Amino acid sequence: MNEIRMSVVLRNNLLLKKMEEYGYYTNASFAKECNIYQASLGQVINLNKKAVFTKSGEYTKDANRIATFFNDIPENLFPPDLYKFNEMSKANIEVPLESVKMLNTSAVHEQTLENKMLHKDINSTLAILPERTQKIIRMKFYENLTDQKIGEEFGMSKSNVSQTIRNGLKKLKESKCSQHLLEYIA
């Protein structure tokens, strides 16, 4: 008897790989750039046939918009055979415990990949700040240095370091650039 029941979700890996190739690691950031609704993109990725094909069998506006964004044709990103799995895109399977142990190694790799994506998104968000403020924030939150140590490095008082950090974080919070970071919190 198999000890584990897993849920499996089929997704359009052609599109996901293309998004990653172009530096889009979240649905929200790509949907915004491509000017489509995030929910619609999710349906396209999750192999919802209605999100990709009209009743007459033509590609939808969203599918065409995505293909155009990548300077590609819809057939390359949304092959009709792929969307035949629509009815069975989610399933439960039973597997032995040993198989799950092997998956755990993959999960660690995926978590590492997600951390790299988060770091990349944080760095691109920090880029709106002056270089000195970026360095101070990195020293505070990445290197866990005290305000005193940071102040010594920059020839600033402890209170000036604290104020620089507060102002930088306030600017980031008010910036639209930081909104996509909320996906990592959910």
Q: 27-34 and 38-45 are packed helices; what angle lies between their axes, rounded to 10 degrees?
A: 110
* Alpha carbons 113 and 26: distance in angstroms, whole number: 12
* Alpha carbons 114 and 157: distance in angstroms, whole number: 36
Q: Which amino acid is at 61?
A: K
Q: Which two tokens stand for residue 63?
A: 């599918």
pLDDT for the residue numbered 85:
65
| Backbone φ, ψ for residue 14 (5° rounding) | -60, -45
pLDDT for the residue numbered 91:
62
* Alpha carbons 62 and 30: distance in angstroms, whole number: 12
pLDDT for the residue numbered 186:
45
Any idea which fold 111-184 has? Answer: Arc Repressor Mutant, subunit A (1.10.10)
Partner residues linked to 5 by β-bridges: 94
- Is residue 25 a contact partner of residue 32, using CB atoms and an 8 Å limit? no
pLDDT for the residue numbered 163:
94
Is the domain spanning 4-95 CATH 1.10.20? The answer is no
pLDDT for the residue numbered 64:
95
What string of pLDDT tens digits covers the 186 residues of the chain?
Answer: 667 677 767 788 899 999 988 888 888 889 998 899 999 999 899 888 899 999 999 999 999 999 999 999 999 999 988 877 655 556 666 767 776 666 555 555 555 666 667 667 777 788 888 999 989 988 888 788 899 999 999 999 999 999 998 898 888 878 776 666 666 554
In this prediction the pTM is: 0.49
Nearest Cα neighbor of 171 from 134, 145, 139 is 134
pLDDT for the residue numbered 183:
61
Partner residues linked to 97 by β-bridges: none
Domain boundaries, the chain: 4-95, 111-184
- Is residue 136 a contact partner of residue 164, using CB atoms and an 8 Å limit? yes
